[in-house]
């Protein structure tokens, strides 16, 4: 038996890369399954599994250079995804809260930690400050949890992510200053000032050049693999440059994520690929590697080691809770938000280990280390305990917030949004799918339908057209699957394309139909293609016709031309919300050009959507001024023209020639035509010619001569037309 055990032990630690990778993949596969049944966050499972298989456990695998490589990539990936997934609009609105949380997260642990380390542990000034900086720093180890629950765009998460950058930056600055005290004298007393200058210059270069390089690349290369490698390369470039100037690479990765944020929409295929690879491989490797560093014997290293460990853990956990509590009170946030911020800011990893290693590697004149071996072991144990606490708190807070969102969400209507795209040209296929992904209801994964219509007017080419159409549908389904969306495909035969699209839209109960603007081949051809005026008259749902000259994520501005009286169209609110949703997802500026009366209702919807900081409304009293917009629309803009069907309230004769006008005067930019829904409800508070007026019961100033009791039953009158629109606070009451 002893001989058998000796023979088995001879195979360990495993050296074969194939078996090493197999064991790690087994942990990545089964840890979430096993610990999920125990209601324990799978992040803890990864760390505990690393402890078991590591050299301090069963010695199955040694933490060699491959784990250091993949672990470093995983840590950079966490910070990079945190920057990529951040809602920049929400972050700008809450940047003051992030600054408060970040400064408190550094000052409170440093002050309390220095006092305790000096009085209780009897440390000198510099070691006391170094150990206190371990309490101040934190790493977003638990960030994948909030991402899994769909809470990544919550304001408390944005605040925590921004605070992490501030806290770690201050910690690393302090580490550089304290470490510089023990270097050669020629380092100079202004070492820290020079470090600030270098970091500021690098940050400015990344902010200025990275978006321009990214926009140039995405316009020229649409291959998903090339885009993924490019984005990953930019992340490593930023991280490497940050290390060159003397800071940790995690700050560079986070900065790269921030500046590339708007080039990679949250619903895009590229973002889906980034999250998939990171959560499936690199981040688990990092967590397992953290576990392999932890030695259980640290917990039994004598009373002094235990005392040090207890002090470090208590101070690290308590100071971060005090920080979250103070931030909640100062910024008037909820208890759930406080819990989520506390959970995200409790875990330690890279920065804490960096502080311990720097202090350990500083040799004093008497030959001793500035921070002894017990501090290094205590830091490793601190990483384990804080990661466990952080994971549990973050898991509970994320689940509680997700359940609260589900309970408070508005009930879905029976006629939920369904988007239909007409697929007939491989050159426009991906832009149609991209627009559908941007405007659809993201809560549903199967609300987009693609149809290919085979015209049976020419019997000789029917079979070839059918095969070609099926190939187009497969390409569309593949493009949609990259965004985590299931695309329903429909292939049908019809006398003509327009009739086939109309019948499919009615059968599938589509609420929005997206078409590609036709490319003229001859002088007699029309940019409307098969979709004539008769087509629009037979289809009363929202119709969007689009021609894109560049990918959506490279657009810098959306220019919207709105005709007079457009607010009286039943689908006005719907298409406005679609435009705002596209702008918010892409992070674009949106410029509305409309009449003074229409602008009142545009502002109403914009304010309700909370996107007013990136919206400008400019006066355009007459549609005759539409052509003048060509002087201000550039190649990287999207021009959206709101039109109307014949008989509509805002219909103008010029709309019949709108596709040709766009091709002639706006041929250098991407264009879109929107025909509003005719079967929906009018914009809240806006009155169509035959609709009653509904006002909010609060702060209402009704039309002249109308009592407040009569509001809700008043028809459209001449007095209402003359009313001052600025006096109304309008909403569907």
Non-local (6+) Cβ contacts of 688 within 8 A are 568, 569, 570, 649, 682, 716
Q: In angstroms, how far is the first alpha carbon of the chain from the final one? A: 82
pLDDT at position 521 is 44
Q: Which span out of 70-74, 195-199, 526-530, 602-606 was modeled with the highest average pLDDT?
A: 602-606
Q: What is the pLDDT of residues 472-530, one digit of tens each?
A: 888 888 888 777 778 888 888 887 888 888 889 889 889 999 998 865 544 444 545 55
Judged by average pLDDT, the poorest of 53-57, 366-370, 466-470, 677-681 is 677-681
pLDDT beyond 90 at 230: yes
| Helix (H/G/I), strand (E/B), else coil: 450 | strand
Q: Which residues, 6+ apart, have CB-to-CB distance to 443 below 8 Å?
A: 412
**Are the C-beta atoms of residues 339 and 130 closer than 8 Å to each other?**
no
Give the model's pLDDT for residue 729: 35
Mean pLDDT value of segment 149-164: 84
At 2, the pLDDT band (50, 70, 90 cuts) reads low
451-471 average pLDDT score: 78
Q: What is the mean pLDDT of the chain?
A: 80
* Predicted confidence (pLDDT) per residue in 97-117, tens digit: 889 999 999 999 999 999 998
| DSSP H helix total and E strand total for the chain | 26, 10
**Closest among 555, 541, 550 to 674, alpha carbons compared:** 541
pLDDT on residue 327: 92
Evaluate whether 152 touches 344 at the Cβ level (below 8 Å): no
pLDDT at residue 712, as a whole number: 36
- pLDDT at residue 442 in the model: 73
pLDDT band per the 50, 70, 90 thresholds, residue 680: low
Q: Answer yes or no: are the C-beta atoms of 153 and 122 closer than 8 Å.
A: no
For residue 599, give the nearest of 625, 560, 652, 646 by alpha carbon.
560
In this structure, are residues 417 and 441 in contact, taking their beta carbons and an 8 Å threshold?
yes
Q: What is the pLDDT of residue 233?
A: 94
Phi, psi of 312 (to 5 degrees): -65, -45
Residue 369, phi then psi, degrees to nearest 5: -85, 145
Which pLDDT tens digit goes with each residue over 277-327? 888 888 888 888 878 877 666 656 567 777 888 888 899 999 999 999 999
User: For 344-399, what is each residue's pLDDT tens digit?
Assistant: 888 887 677 777 777 777 777 777 778 777 787 788 778 888 888 998 899 889 88
Which range among 2-6, 22-26, 147-151, 318-322 shows the weakest confidence by mean pLDDT? Answer: 2-6
pLDDT in tens, 59-96: 888 888 888 888 888 888 888 887 887 777 667 778 88
pLDDT of residue 673: 93
pLDDT more than 70, % of the chain? 83
Joined together, the tokens standing for residue 10 give 């001879």
Could you give phi then psi for residue 546, rounded to 5 degrees? -140, 145
Looking at residue 578, what is its pLDDT?
A: 93
């Amino acid at each position: 038996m002893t001989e058998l055990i000796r023979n088995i032990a001879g195979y360990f630690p495993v050296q074969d890369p194939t078996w090493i990778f197999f064991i790690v993949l087994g942990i990545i596969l089964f840890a979430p399954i096993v610990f999920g049944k125990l209601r324990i966050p799978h992040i803890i499972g990864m760390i505990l599994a690393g402890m078991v298989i590591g050299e301090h456990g069963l010695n199955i695998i040694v933490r060699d250079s491959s784990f250091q490589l993949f672990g470093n990539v995983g840590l950079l990936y966490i910070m990079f995804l945190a920057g990529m997934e951040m809602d920049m609009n929400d972050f700008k609105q809450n940047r003051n809260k992030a600054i408060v949380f970040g400064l408190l997260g550094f000052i409170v642990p440093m002050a309390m930690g220095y006092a305790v380390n000096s009085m209780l542990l009897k440390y000198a000034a510099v070691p006391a400050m170094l150990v206190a900086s371990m309490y101040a720093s934190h790493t977003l180890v638990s960030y994948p949890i909030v991402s899994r629950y769909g809470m990544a765009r919550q304001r408390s998460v944005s605040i925590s992510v921004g605070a992490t950058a501030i806290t770690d930056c201050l910690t690393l600055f302090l580490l550089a200053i304290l470490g510089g005290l023990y270097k050669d004298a020629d380092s100079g007393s202004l070492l820290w000032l020079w470090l600030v200058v270098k970091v500021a210059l690098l940050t400015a270069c990344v902010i200025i050049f990275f978006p321009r390089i990214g926009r140039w690349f995405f316009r020229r290369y649409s291959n998903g693999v090339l885009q993924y490698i490019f984005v990953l390369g930019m992340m490593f470039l930023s991280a490497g440059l940050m290390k060159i100037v003397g800071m940790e690479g995690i700050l560079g990765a986070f900065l790269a994520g921030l500046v590339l944020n708007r080039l990679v929409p949250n619903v895009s295929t590229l973002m889906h690929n980034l999250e998939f690879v990171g959560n499936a491989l690199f981040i688990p490797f990092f967590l397992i590697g953290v576990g392999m560093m932890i030695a259980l014997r640290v917990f039994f290293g004598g009373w002094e080691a235990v005392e040090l460990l207890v002090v470090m853990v208590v101070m690290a956990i308590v100071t971060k809770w005090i920080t979250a509590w103070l931030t909640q009170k100062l910024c008037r946030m909820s208890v759930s938000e406080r819990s989520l911020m506390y959970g995200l800011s409790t875990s330690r990893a890279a920065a804490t280990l960096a502080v311990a290693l720097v202090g350990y590697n500083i040799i004093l004149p008497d030959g001793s280390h500035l921070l002894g071996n017990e501090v290094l072991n205590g830091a490793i144990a601190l990483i384990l305990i804080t990661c466990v606490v952080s994971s549990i708190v973050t898991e509970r807070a994320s689940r509680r917030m997700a359940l609260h969102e589900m309970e408070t969400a508005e009930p879905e209507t029976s006629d939920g949004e369904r988007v239909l795209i007409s697929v007939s040209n491989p050159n426009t296929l991906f832009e149609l799918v991209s627009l559908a992904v941007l405007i659809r209801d993201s809560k549903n994964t199967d609300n987009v339908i693609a149809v290919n219509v085979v015209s049976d007017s020419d019997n000789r080419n029917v079979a070839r057209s059918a095969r070609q159409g099926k190939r187009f549908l497969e390409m569309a389904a593949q493009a949609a699957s990259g965004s985590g969306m299931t695309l329903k495909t429909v292939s049908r035969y019809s006398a003509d394309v327009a009739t086939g699209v109309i019948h499919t839209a009615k059968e599938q109960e589509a609420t929005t139909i997206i078409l590609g603007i036709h490319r003229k081949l001859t002088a007699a051809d029309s940019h409307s293609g098969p979709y004539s005026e008769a087509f629009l008259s037979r289809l009363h749902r929202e119709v969007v016709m689009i021609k894109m000259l560049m990918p959506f994520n490279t657009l810098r501005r959306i220019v919207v031309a709105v005709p007079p009286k457009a607010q009286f169209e039943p689908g006005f609110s719907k298409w406005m919300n679609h435009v705002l949703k596209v702008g918010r997802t892409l992070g674009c500026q949106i410029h509305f050009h409309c009449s003074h009366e229409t602008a009142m209702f545009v502002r109403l919807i914009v304010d309700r959507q909370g996107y007013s900081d990136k919206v400008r409304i400019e006066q355009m009293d007459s549609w005759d001024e539409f052509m003048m917009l060509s002087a201000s629309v550039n190649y990287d803009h999207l021009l959206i023209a709101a039109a109307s069907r014949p008989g509509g309230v805002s219909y103008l004769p010029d709309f019949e020639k709108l596709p040709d006008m766009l091709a002639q005067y706006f041929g250098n930019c991407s264009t879109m035509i929107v025909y509003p829904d005719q079967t929906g409800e009018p914009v809240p508070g806006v009155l169509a010619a035959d609709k009653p007026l509904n006002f909010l019961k609060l702060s209402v100033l009704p039309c002249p001569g109308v009592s407040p009791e009569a509001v809700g039953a008043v028809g459209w009158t001449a007095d209402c037309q003359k009313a001052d629109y600025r006096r109304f606070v309008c909403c569907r009451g």
